Amino acid sequence: MKSKTKSAENPVIATESPSDLSFLKEVKLADSIKKLEELMSQNKRSFLLGAGCSLCAGLPLTTQLTEEVKNDSKLSDATKNVLQIIEAKFSGSVTATIEDYMSELVDLLSIAERREEGGATNKKIDIDGKAYEANELREVLKDIKSSIAKCIDSKKLNLTAHREFVRAVHQILRSGKGNGANSVDYFILNYDTLIEDVLALERLSYADGFSGGATAWWDDSVFKQDGIQARVLKIHGSIDWMQLEGDPLPRRIRLSGQNFSGVDPKDKVIIWPAATKYQESQKDPYAQILAVMRNALRPAVHSETVLAICGYRFGDSHINVEIDRALRESEGRLTVLIFTENDAPVGQLKLWFNDVAVREQVRIYAKRGFYHGETSITSETDLPWWKFEVLARILGGER
């Protein structure tokens, strides 16, 4: 491993105010900003967007969503009881959210279903002294998912930053038609439909894995079609996905609260918790979505891809593994830009920053500095480039 950089190579940056973009004029940040502009002008660009990117639109962070679901008066008594028990098992954790609780519930449900499928005499799962059958746990999980969808769908949204973002990202494509070579990939970890909505508002053609209109069926071949300017891949599902009886693949129902006579959805909302288990990742459409992502992050010879990550805290091990593998298997043709609210690289980011095999491919725009290869530039005050709404302004050319 290469030695740490000297203090002379770690200048301290002073900024006037984290609420404006004056920090972009700092001389020591000039190279990092210039390189960001160069990378964002490349043909093949991808974005991995987490919950932090939806906050400026008026949607809750996962921690806030957790509280809203827990306080939902419409939850059944069974759901409230199970949630309270599971939450208690995470006592002491300062990071546990509703996604962790759902993951725990999915684990318990998997055990119950395995016993049920195996014809076991004891098919019930004991949760803190009370026995639950697979069907009861399934209903609890559906209840939680419906509550999440309701919380998200009920918010009054401000799409200003998201519209500014997609305008900036797609301005290079405006002069000609998009195609499979230079369309933009959006890997979405959120359950909301903000990106799809603003792409449509900006008249940008996109594929999201469905064929049809407001009501559509899953058809992953649309990801390969010519003439599209973007691909939207909802890695954790979406509040407007549902599953019908007899069909293992999702349908998209964009009309909120719509009920169809004669149509009985098996699952009214299809979303997966962040800690999706390995066996779930082998099923469609999740497996198909990951296959598209893997291919996109491994550019062909003589081409390069940029993956910009914003609003994501790297709490999903499956996603972290996918990015790590792509970095190592892309033969240097993948560059990852990470905009993080952490003051400096921590966790997975620190591992990449310290790994000589991939550190040159990773550029970290942290809250208190910039990190790339052997370069560490620190700041005494906040650098707001990690915020989605500020990133949108930067990409739009504002200085």
pLDDT attached to residue 213 = 86
Confidence of residue 271 (pLDDT cuts 50, 70, 90): confident
Which phi and psi angles does 160 have, rounded to 5°?
-55, -55
pLDDT attached to residue 77 = 95
Average pLDDT over residues 319-336: 96
pLDDT attached to residue 176 = 42
pLDDT attached to residue 206 = 96
- Does pLDDT of 16 surpass 60? no
Closest C-alpha among 207, 205, 216, 211 to residue 240: 216
Give the Cα separation of 286 and 228 in Å (integer).
Answer: 22
Go through the domains of the chain in sequence order and give each one's CATH number.
Answer: 7-60+157-395 (3.40.50.1220), 62-153 (no CATH)
pLDDT attached to residue 214 = 84
Q: Which two tokens stand for residue 301?
A: 């010879």
Confidence of residue 8 (pLDDT cuts 50, 70, 90): very low
To the nearest whole percent, how much of the chain has pLDDT over 70? Answer: 87
Give the Cα separation of 116 and 246 in Å (integer).
Answer: 19
β-pairing, 369-372 vs 375-379, is: antiparallel
Least confident of 168-177, 244-253, 356-365: 168-177
Give the Cα separation of 35 and 361 in Å (integer).
Answer: 12
Q: State in Å, rounded, how far the first CA of the chain is from the last one.
A: 37
Give the Cα separation of 49 and 312 in Å (integer).
Answer: 6
- Which residue shows structure tokens 């149509």? 263
Closest C-alpha among 102, 97, 90 to residue 63: 97
User: Alpha helices of 90-213 — where are they, by DSSP H?
Assistant: 98-117, 134-153, 160-170, 194-201
pLDDT attached to residue 3 = 37
Confidence of residue 6 (pLDDT cuts 50, 70, 90): very low
Q: Which two tokens stand for residue 395?
A: 């990409």
CB 385 within 8 Å of CB 339: yes
Confidence of residue 381 (pLDDT cuts 50, 70, 90): confident
Plot region of 237 (φ>0 → left; ψ -120 to 50 → alpha; else → beta): left
CB 181 within 8 Å of CB 296: no
pLDDT attached to residue 273 = 74
pLDDT digits (tens, 9 = 90+) for 249-259: 999 987 655 56
pLDDT digits (tens, 9 = 90+) for 48-95: 999 999 999 999 999 999 999 999 999 999 999 999 999 999 999 988
What's the predicted TM-score (pTM) here?
Answer: 0.89
pLDDT attached to residue 25 = 85
- Does pLDDT of 293 surpass 80? yes
Q: What is the mean pLDDT of the chain?
A: 87
